[in-house]
A and B are shown apart, each in its own frame.
Chain A
Amino acid sequence: EPEVTQTPSHQVTQMGQEVILRCVPISNHLYFYWYRQILGQKVEFLVSFYNNEISEKSEIFDDQFSVERPDGSNFTLKIRSTKLEDSAMYFCASHYGGALGGELFFGEGSRLTVL
């Protein structure tokens, strides 16, 4: 069964450092997402990406965040200068699209710890 893969599974970084989280969405999917989940809390929308550009972003997704699809397969989330409050699990998700939306396929997540 096709799956969304994410790397790294866990990253520990110092406050102020840059972090890049990587995702390989399912190959024929057209819509890509980043969500984050602070431990024990809800799954929060960060950004959606379609046709090589950001479709929507939340208030959380400020100038410190950026996304890229550099090579047609990888989908990356960059945090330029990490803060303590960026510590969370980051999930990448994708789906094919279509009028009714459709199932979001999530990766297993990248746990980011900012010290």
Chain B
Amino acid sequence: GQQVMQIPQYQHVQEGEDFTTYCNSSTTLSNIQWYKQRPGGHPVFLIQLVKSGEVKKQKRLTFQFGEAKKNSSLHITATQTTDVGTYFCAGRDTSGTYKYIFGTGTRLKVLA
């Protein structure tokens, strides 16, 4: 079945440093979403990417969808302590399903 992997599994950064998490799917995706889960919280939607090669920005966050629509990345510029949490990508394959398979997640810690 469809598998979605993320690297790295953990990342510790100093406040102000940049951070990137990478997401790779075993199957071609129709779209991909990104979620943030704070410690003890539930996943909260950040963004959805649909088009091949699409790049979207939200303030310090930049999201990219690969040309082949099998990978994606999230880059945070100048991390802040409020960025702490686990970032998950979630992909929907091209079969027409409405099932989103979540990636393995990247847990970000920001040291002040």
Contacts and interface: CB of A to CB of B under 8 A. Distances in A.
Interface of A: 31, 33, 35, 42-45, 48, 50, 55-56, 59, 91, 95, 97, 100-109
B33 interface: yes
Nearest to A56: B99
B101 interface: yes
Contacts of B45: 103-105
A43 B33 CA distance: 13
A109 B43 CA distance: 10
A59 B3 CA distance: 13
Interface residues of B, number: 25
A59 B92 CA distance: 17
Contacts of B98: 31, 48, 50, 55-56, 95, 97, 101
Contacts of B101: 45
B44 interface: yes
Contacts of A45: 99-102
A43 B43 contact: yes
A61 to B, nearest CB: 11
B100 A101 contact: yes
A50 B97 CA distance: 11
B102 A43 contact: yes
For the complex of A and B, 3 pairs with smallest distance between CB atoms? A43-B102, A103-B45, A106-B42
B48 A42 contact: no
A91 to B, nearest CB: 6
Contacts of B104: 42
A103 B101 CA distance: 13
Contact of A35 (B1, B102, B103): B102
A32 to B, nearest CB: 10
A42 B88 contact: yes
B105 interface: yes
Contact of A107 (B37, B42, B88, B97): B42
